[in-house]
Structure 1
Amino acid sequence: MKTSFRWYAAIAVFTMVLLLAACGDQKESEVVEAENMGEEISGETESNQVVEDVVEEDYIVVVANEKDETLAVIKYPEQTQEIIELEGQAHNLEVNVDTELVWVTINPPHGHDDEEDGHSHGHSHDEEGVEKVVAYDLNTLEKVEEYEVGNHPAHVTITKDGNIVVVTNSGDDTITIINRSTEELTTVAVGEYPHGARISPDQQFVYIANMQSADMSIVDLTLKEEVNRIDVGNGAVQTGFSHDGKYAFVGLHVDNQLAVVDVETQELVEKIDVGVGPVQMYASYDDRYVIVANQGSEEAPSDTISIISLETLEIVKELQVGQGAHGIVISKDSRYAFITNMFEDTVSVVDLDTLEETARIDVGYFPNGISIN
């Protein structure tokens, strides 16, 4: 009896061990399966996150279609457009990110017909229209402000806070400085036929390219007076800056060069040969490049941009874009450059990682200035 009992007891214990082992294996299997599921879920989440990380950002690019008398508000990469009808010809524009306003210079629609290379050189005033600078809200596309300025306004530039607006008046060799908070307008004399203008990164000065006097005016925005004038070269058409504040640039439309000025010393330090008929330039925010749009003339249009290293001040690539490359702007993330091709009514999009054109967008007639929100 004792032997039998012990035998059965041993069998029971053995059976229980097998059952417990089986349960353990099942639980371990369930744990492993759960962990695997967790890894799959985690992996799926990470995968989704990666997908979300590479989703293209929306860029809002605004183009002045001068002879259409419109602004094109382009969403990229969707390439959808909304159109703002203007009350005259838009020569140039600039978007202020803080206020989400786009400022545009307006000339009477039938005035200043004497044009050369895409820029009017007449000094007559059209009595039938008003020359002004106008602000449009990028959210509503409605006009919200306007100011009468001097004869034949060309370019407009704005301080980062959106309060000070500067307009070059090519027809009377002046600039207009507008203080929006006080509504005070100040006129300052500069060089002959002031055209392009940009405000320095420290927000203290505005640098103006004077096309007919072959120099660049520097105006103190606090003193509201010209404090220096630098000889740069023939056909000084537009200015620009490296975003670290080290260099100022001037496109020399006649000399086919980019002038480089040391901001600290206010001295010309370099002239770089670029394509034919350069107009606007823009530096990338990561301080890799300054890119020059080479327009040429309507009779002999250029179709390139010159990509220049900010480290060496040497051209790293000449890239073909559209006919009459004129205006240029670079996105804040330094990913894309957008260029207006004046003589074929398009905008080129250039990837700054590959240095290749990735898209060409149809816009209105005679696209001139360009800016980005």
Structure 2
Amino acid sequence: MKTSIRWFTTIAVLALLLLLAACGEQKENASVEEEKVGEETSVETEANIEAEVEESYVVAVANEKDQTLSIIYYPEQRQEIIELEGSAHNLEVNVETGLVWVTINPPHGHEDEEEGDSHGHGHGHDEESVEKVVAYDLKTLKKIEEYEVGDHPAHVTTTKDGNTIVVSNSGDNTITIINRTNAETITVPVGEYPHGLRLSVDQQYVLIANMVSADMSIVDLTTKEEVNRIEVGNGAVQTGISHNGEYAFVGLHFDDQLAVVDVASQELIKKIDVGVGPVQMYASYDNRYVIVANQGSEESPSDTISVISLETLEVVKEVQLGKGAHGIVISKDSRYAFVTNMYEDTISVVDLETLEETSRIDVGYFPNGISIN
């Protein structure tokens, strides 16, 4: 009898151990499954974060002839329109303040536009109208600030802190320097028909392209004086700068070239043949490329950008876009270039990894300047 009990007890214990082992396997399997689910969730979360980051591109475009700004949210491609009080020739977004600064010329009729220069500048307007630079808040899309400037304002640029605004006045051969902390404006004479302008990397100098005098003015922001003027070539239309501070660039609209200036020596060191009628250029923040928008003319539009290696200062690729490639800006992650196609009312988006156009977006009439937050 005792032997039977012992056997029964032994069998029961073995059964219990097998049951516990099975439960352990189930828990272990469940734990592995939970870990896999956790990994999948983590991957999905990372993908969502990447998508959210990509959707943060906010691009501002000046539509000169319909007197509007397009505010584009990319890649969503949602678009908001700001109605202006005149023609917006160019603009620049200041990231620190969240403001977009726009040069405004008084409204003019079609007849006056045809009498303007090759970039659609006309000078016919009533005597009561004033030229100005205006700031809009990118979040509210409301005008919050404005200043009167010189005759026929073309381009605008800002210091990184957003406290100093500089405007080129093509009609009177000056630039206007605005101190926002005390609303003081100072006028500085430069070359003939100043057009595009950019700041040096150290924020000390303004580099101005003078279209008629075929040179680049350098103005010291501290002394408020022109300290040098460098001959570069015909139709000096816009300046640029490499983000490592090594080179300055000038688009030579009538020479079909990009002038390269050594910043340290302030000497012209090279001219690079690009497409027809180059206008704006922009260097990538990773110091790989400077990209030139080739506009051509309204009668014979060009439709390319020239991609130039900053290492070799040679063209590595021509990319075909829309008609009249004019304004260009590059995102701060060096992922995309955004280009205005002036003669077909679109902007192109170029992937800088593949150097191919990935999107083309309709905007307003005669898109000119472009900037990004």
Pairwise TM-score range, normalised by the shorter structure:
over 0.9
**How far apart are the structure 2 equivalents of 1:159 and 1:125?**
31
Counterparts of 2:126 and 2:244 in 1: how far apart (Å)? 41
Cα distance in 1 between the residues matched to 2:126 and 2:168: 17
Q: How far off is 1:27 after superposition?
A: 2.8
Amino acid at match of 1:229: R
CA distance in 2, matches of 1:101, 1:332: 17
* Distance in 1 of aligned mates of 2:120 and 2:344: 16
Partner of 1:83: 81
| TM-score normalised over the length of structure 1 | 0.95
Distance in 2 of aligned mates of 1:58 and 1:250: 30
- Equivalent position amino acid for 1:286 in 2: D
Q: How does 1:137-216 map to 2 (within 5 A)?
A: 137-216=137-216
Q: Deviations over 1:267-293 (max 9, x none)?
A: 111111000000000111111111100
2:364 counterpart letter in structure 1: G
Contact 1:177 1:187 in 2 (8 A): yes
Corresponding residue for residue 20 of structure 2: 24
Name structure 2 gaps, 5 residues minimum.
none
Give distance in 1, aligned partners of 2:6 and 2:202. 90
1:125 and 1:152 in contact (8 A); partners too: no
Amino acid in structure 1 at the alignment position of 2:97: T
Matches within 5 A, 1:1-373: 4-5=1-2, 7-55=3-51, 56-110=54-108, 113=113, 114-120=115-121, 126-373=126-373
Amino acid at match of 1:274: V
1:39, 1:367 → 2: CA distance?
52
CA distance in 1, matches of 2:81, 2:50: 29
Number of equivalences: 368
Give the counterpart letter for 1:66 in structure 2: E
**Partners of 1:125 and 1:151 within 8 A in 2:** no
SS in 1 for 2:25: helix
Deviation at residue 41 of structure 1 after TM alignment: 2.3
Aligned equivalents of 1:205, 1:252: Cα separation in 2: 21
Q: Distance in 2 between the 1:121 and 1:271 partners?
A: 31
Q: Tell me if the contact between 2:55 and 2:73 (Cα under 8 Å) persists in the aligned partners.
A: no
Secondary structure in 2 aligned to 1:31?
A: helix
d(CA) in 1 for partners of 2:89, 2:254: 20
- For 1:118, give the aligned amino acid: H
Decide whether the 8 Å contact of 2:107 with 2:125 is kept in 1.
Answer: no
Give how far 1:14 is off: 2.6
**Structure with bigger gyration radius:** 1
Contact 1:252 1:279 in 2 (8 A): yes
Residue 77 of structure 1: how far off its partner (Å): 1.0
The root-mean-square deviation of aligned C-alpha atoms, in Å, is 1.5
2:289, 2:9 → 1: CA distance? 80
Letter in 2 for 1:29: E
Cα distance in structure 1, aligned partners of 2:25 and 2:319: 60
- Distance in 2 between residues matched to 1:125 and 1:173, nearest whole Å: 19
Q: Quick one: distance in 2 between partners of 1:65 and 1:125?
A: 19
- The answer as to whether partners of 2:102 and 2:135 remain within 8 angstroms in 1 is yes
- Provide the rounded CA distance (Å) in 2 between the counterparts of 1:270 and 1:141: 42
Identity %: 70
Identify if the C-alpha distance between structure 1 residues 125 and 67 changes in structure 2 by more than 3 Å, giving closer, same or farther. Answer: closer
With over 3 angstroms needed to count, the CA separation of the structure-2 counterparts of 1:243 and 1:82, relative to structure 1, is: same
What is the rounded CA distance, in whole Å, between the counterparts of 1:99 and 1:289 in structure 2?
28
8-17 or 323-332, larger mean C-alpha shift: 8-17
CA contact (8 A) 1:335 1:353 kept: yes
State the alpha-carbon separation in 1 of the partners of residues 363 and 125 from structure 2.
Answer: 29
CA distance in 2, matches of 1:288, 1:57: 24
Contact 2:88 2:102 (C-alpha < 8 Å) held by counterparts: yes
1:229-257 residue CA offsets vs partner (Å, 9 max, x unmatched):
11111100000111111111100001101
Structure 1: gaps spanning 5 or more residues:
none
Contact 2:289 2:308 (C-alpha < 8 Å) held by counterparts: yes
Shift of 1:125: 7.2
Deviation at 1:54, TM superposition (A): 3.6
Matched residue of 1:120: which SS?
coil
